[in-house]
Chain A
Amino acid sequence: MQTYTGPWTKAEAAHLLRRTTFGATNQQILDAVSNGMNATVASILQIPITDEPLAFDAGELIVPQGSSWVNAVYPANQAQNQQTENARFKSLGGWVAKNLNQEQLCIAEKMVFFWQNHFGVTATAESRAMYHFLNLLRQNALGNFKQLMKDVTIDPAMLLFLNGATNNVFSPNENYARELLELFSIGKGNQIAAGDYSTYTETDVAAGAKILTGYTVTGIRSATATQATASFNPILHDNSSKTLSYHFNGQVIPAAGANEYANFIDVIFNQNQVATYICSKIYRYFVNYDITPAVQSDVIAALAQTFIANNYEVLPVMQQLLTSDHFYDMSVRGAIIRNPLEMIMGAMNPTQTIPNFGLVGDYQTYISVYYVADTMGQSYIVPPSVAGWMSYYQAPAYSKLWINSTYIKKRFDIVSALVYSGIPIGTNVLKMNHLGFLNGLSNPSSAPQVIDDICDVFFPKAIDPADKLTLKLILTNGLPDFEWTIQYNDYLNDPTNTTYFTPVTQRMQALMNVILKMPQFQTI
């Protein structure tokens, strides 16, 4: 796989930012052009710290409004306990949407969602545990995957989600061991014999379950404990030696108590297939769903080699991928259909549409946005299954599954609302920031330049010149370009005069209503 050395224009910069963020402004794209590919990729590959989610809903009975609840106890009373959990879930959902809408221009949010999809962990009715799990994903998003795999294995949220917390020597539970092999690390291959999945066998599942015995979770929604906590109880652990299948060279995992799971993971990660499997998922998420034999042998193999050579550090793999010739190939531009949050944020972030309604209003807005994505099939903290969202694994449709006759109508409805009247949320209305967006373009008084910029921001490939003309005529209301220039300059000279800003806003509304409903916008 070669490093990309072709032209570095807005098209390439925008492609990079579309795939690695939830939406860049025109200026951010222009900055990426002038910074060049290497510097841009370097600046993208970082994971900034985020603030903790804050209490905003009246249902929260422990911490005051505006405070973090992630390390706070729950009420003892059962009804109040549930009420508080509901409030915390809303806060967590709002926090997720806020992070996406207010992301720094880097890969963090895309990467965290990659891992969230990878592990498929559902909120465990313990929002504290879910928060800490998401935080674990964030902290290791570009870090060492082998370590992340180990941390996730004994994370309270995961132990609760896949029955690790009830897996003990007296009644082994295979749930986690199976998914660890099948979905999280080495991946399931074709079944080549009874109980043999090319990469592991049922023997390994049974052995893995024994290896992982002994962990429990305490403090769930506790009135005294500030955390749900995982702990190892030697009495519950299976102290026998576990023998793995021929896929792992019949290796024996000796009893090692609390650390045995880590030894097991080390053995699994000695198989190169782990790197191949994870790099395939990275490719499907960041590049294209279709892994052709050529992609397999050239791209995936090269990435896997880097992954292994760097002892499963993720950053070098991403660095290699995002600077590769293949990543910028025309054949993969626009090859992914936006997931619902990519679609919503893809409209909000480039236009700098950010709620500013105070703590409560902002959180109410964000949880509403969260639920809008939910109705389109993407509830961020409640994946449909442990395998994540079907759009990332279900052949042959893959990302086409994000759009069907119901979802497309919802996508258009949300665009209409956002672009025109705004989305009413309580007493606030979330409206697209048309004028802010327009003013941030490279030359807002030039109708053709406005259209060029907008196409660069929202469409993965150049569109037909006839379409561009149609879009320009929508902006200018069918008039010659200079009329738009006059109108815009009138507004600019007297920006608070409704006589000037209203017509400009209305032209932008008409334009954005079409742009964001074009099929081209649905792809990245």
Chain B
Amino acid sequence: MKRRDFLKNASLASLSLPFVSNGFSMQAISKELFEFSKNAEDRVLVLIRMNGGNDGLNMVFPIDQYANLMVQRPNILIPQNQLLGLTNEVALHPEMTGMQNMFNNGKLSIIQNVGYPEANRSHFRSMDIWSTGSMDINQTSGWLGRYFDSTYPNFPEDYPNLNFPDPFAISMGSEVSTTCQGLMGNFSHAVNDPFNTSNLLLTGVVNDGTYYGSHIEYISTLINQTNEYGTQISASANAGNSLSTMYDPLNSLAVQLKYIAQMISGGLKTKVYILNVGGFDTHDSQVDQNNVSEGSHALLLKMISDAVAAFQNDLQLLGLEERVAGMTFSEFGRQIASNGSYGTDHGDAAPIMLFGSCVNTGIIGPNPTIDNQINEQAGVPMQIDFRNVYASILRDWFEAPETSIQSLFEQSITYLDVLSGCSVGIAEEEALKFKAIAFPNPTPSNTTLRFIAKGEKYQVFVMNQEGKALALAFEGELPAGQHEIPMETSKLPAGNYYFLISSNNVRELVAFQKI
């Protein structure tokens, strides 16, 4: 079990009761305990939705299948020598130089053939499936919404509040994100421009000088003032910074990612940002018929690649790289065979991309196998269920307990290592612990505390169930190795107690029972 989970689970709510004993504030302890596991607390997830159905085969090319791709999509296939190689088997679209660099620097990974069983080729239904993280038609909450619901109950009624003044998620644009729909409210807050957080207004609201115009202006201003989240957001954006020179001001995704960098660096505690790029529904003119390396899809991929590379560069300069990770997704891939209009029709699975300095580098999953003859309407078969990717992100990035994660999804989860690059791994974390036990336990008289020391100064407190420290039972430096320290517990009344072992780096609780 991870430390954070341990702290959450082991009925330690009682530990947070405020009181001071021997100058020893319990609330301070428990706070420190939580903060110690702050790995995940300030992590940010950025989701880029490629809306319309992204043609994965024109983004991530299975080089070993190139000859068959030429059979399937001769009118749109980019010449092999123009592709940007990542590995011997995989190459990127020529416009994605930014992301090629990221891959080479270990900041991009690709998960192949992601989808779900029995693909639905309706944009709307399939996007719902991807947004809810469920194939149940009656599921109305989003996958992140359910996660937030389990973490922050009583939303939206109790929020924002002193402890959580910032929106949990921000959806760039005018619409909240279905991924964040919770039971009673949507956890995402729509933001067009963090420097002008009249988020409920669309673009063209101006006072035209009439009575109507004055009303519109009045209400707009009021919404602004009323919007507590808006105040937090603009304050963060103004306090924040952006250092990269790579952002293209004409690249709308880059502009939004720059806003996000500013909000994060300005201290906004928002955990999820969702961006939306439309135009992937490339039924025709996906490529320029005179130059298949260009065209509408190439422009979209260039926009995403350039913008994400600039964002990553900015995060690096801001020293935020280890706090931010991102993922692209789309409602489906497109058919393997192209159509006569230099485009492709709705298909099935497609690759998704993960970015950030904490990604598990490389390419997850094999290339799709492309047939040497055209099967009408065939899509790329799914190999990795997208819900396993979601669950793995929640585990690796937000360090949510696996049992809680499983409860968010309808099917049994199989985890992938996707974002564990910066996590204190389970084994590593376990190694930090004292592996303490008390024996005998329960005990009618005295007991012995056994734990592994790392050669530091240690304190051991005896605490009751209410979290009150009853006595300092041991204090002193111990050489590295296993120690057994007898504990005077015979005078304690019968009941449940803890030993709190504390060193400079680690605190650990051991429960014992006096009978």
Q: A206 at the A/B interface (Cβ < 8 Å)?
A: no
Q: B347 at the A/B interface (Cβ < 8 Å)?
A: no
* Chain B positions within 8 Å of A409 at CB level: 226
1/0 contact trace for A491-524 toward B, CB 8 Å? 0000000111011101100100110011110110
Q: B38 at the A/B interface (Cβ < 8 Å)?
A: no
- Asked if B123 and A487 sit within 8 Å, CB to CB, the answer is yes
1/0 contact trace for B189-229 toward A, CB 8 Å? 00000000000111111000011100110111011011000
Spot the interface stretch: A20-28, A33-41, A163-171, A476-484. Answer: A476-484
A480 to B280, CA, bound (A): 10
Q: B443 at the A/B interface (Cβ < 8 Å)?
A: no
A461 to B213, CA, bound (A): 10
A78 to B200, CA, bound (A): 51
Q: A387 at the A/B interface (Cβ < 8 Å)?
A: no
Q: A490, A519, A520, A523: which contacts B122 (Cβ < 8 A)?
A: A490
A404 to B128, CA, bound (A): 36
* Chain A positions within 8 Å of B181 at CB level: 420
A479 to B331, CA, bound (A): 12
* Chain B positions within 8 Å of A490 at CB level: 122
Spot the interface stretch: A104-112, A439-447, A464-472. Answer: A464-472
Q: B52 at the A/B interface (Cβ < 8 Å)?
A: yes
* Chain A positions within 8 Å of B178 at CB level: 506, 510
A90 to B273, CA, bound (A): 46
- Asked if B211 and A331 sit within 8 Å, CB to CB, the answer is yes
Across the interface, name the chain A residue whose C-beta is closest to B276: A478
Across the interface, name the chain B residue whose C-beta is closest to A522: B219
- Asked if B137 and A466 sit within 8 Å, CB to CB, the answer is no
- Asked if B210 and A335 sit within 8 Å, CB to CB, the answer is yes
Q: A332, A420, A464, A487: which contacts B124 (Cβ < 8 A)?
A: A487
Q: B325 at the A/B interface (Cβ < 8 Å)?
A: no
Q: A333 at the A/B interface (Cβ < 8 Å)?
A: yes
A337 to B212, CA, bound (A): 9
Q: A196 at the A/B interface (Cβ < 8 Å)?
A: no
B221 to A: closest C-beta gap in Å: 9
Best-buried of A330, A403, A480, A518 by chain B (most CB within 10 Å) = A518
If A480-B281, A503-B124 touch, does A335 touch B211 (CB 8 Å cutoff)?
yes
B200 to A: closest C-beta gap in Å: 5
- Asked if B124 and A519 sit within 8 Å, CB to CB, the answer is no
- Asked if A502 and B137 sit within 8 Å, CB to CB, the answer is yes
* Chain B positions within 8 Å of A333 at CB level: 210, 212
Q: B65 at the A/B interface (Cβ < 8 Å)?
A: no
* Chain A positions within 8 Å of B211 at CB level: 288-290, 331-332, 334-335
Q: B120 at the A/B interface (Cβ < 8 Å)?
A: yes
Best-buried of B128, B215, B220 by chain A (most CB within 10 Å) = B215
A288 to B138, CA, bound (A): 47
- Asked if B52 and A334 sit within 8 Å, CB to CB, the answer is no
If A335-B210, A404-B222, A460-B212 touch, does A504 touch B138 (CB 8 Å cutoff)?
no
Q: A474 at the A/B interface (Cβ < 8 Å)?
A: yes
* Chain A positions within 8 Å of B124 at CB level: 477, 483, 487, 503-504, 506-507
* Chain A positions within 8 Å of B174 at CB level: 470, 474, 514
A294 to B184, CA, bound (A): 51
1/0 contact trace for B316-328 toward A, CB 8 Å? 0000000000000
Across the interface, name the chain B residue whose C-beta is closest to A463: B204
If A479-B51, A483-B281, A519-B201 touch, does A335 touch B215 (CB 8 Å cutoff)?
yes
- Asked if A519 and B215 sit within 8 Å, CB to CB, the answer is yes
Q: B108 at the A/B interface (Cβ < 8 Å)?
A: no
Shortest 3 CB-CB contacts between residues of A and residues of B: A464-B204, A503-B124, A334-B212
Given contact pairs A330-B210, A461-B212, enumerate 4 new A-B contacts (beta carbons under 8 Å). A421-B140, A479-B52, A487-B124, A510-B178
* 19 sample A-B contacts, Cβ–Cβ < 8 Å, listed by A number: A288-B211, A289-B211, A330-B210, A335-B210, A337-B215, A408-B223, A420-B186, A466-B203, A477-B123, A479-B281, A483-B124, A487-B122, A499-B120, A500-B125, A502-B125, A510-B175, A513-B176, A514-B202, A520-B205
